[in-house]
Structure 1
Amino acid sequence: MFSKGQWIFGILFAIVFIIVMIISYRKDLKLHKRYYKGSVWILIAFISFLLMITAIKFVFV
Structure 2
Amino acid sequence: MFSQGQLIFAVCFFIAFVIVMIFAYRKDLALHKIFYKGNYKVLIGFLLFIAILFVIKIFFKR
Q: How is 1:13-52 mapped onto 2 (pairs within 5 angstroms)?
A: 13-52=13-52
Distance 1:38 1:10 in 2: 36
Partner of 1:6: 6
The CA RMSD measured in Å over matched residues stands at 0.5
2: CA distance between counterparts of 1:32 and 1:49?
Answer: 25
Give the whole-Å Cα distance in 2 for the aligned partners of 1:4 and 1:20: 24
Deviation at 1:4, TM superposition (A): 0.4
Structure 2 unaligned runs (5+)? none
Q: CA deviation at 1:9?
A: 0.2
Distance 1:33 1:12 in 2: 31
TM-aligned CA deviation for residue 59 of structure 1:
1.2
Where has structure 1 moved over 2 Å in runs of 4 or more?
none
Taking only the aligned residue pairs, the percentage that are identical comes to 52
For the residues of structure 1 that align with 2:58 and 2:15, how far apart are their CA atoms? 40
Query: Aligned residue pairs: how many?
Result: 61
Q: With structure 1 as the length reference, what TM-score do the two structures score?
A: 0.96
- Measure, in 2, the Cα distance between the counterparts of 1:22 and 1:53: 34
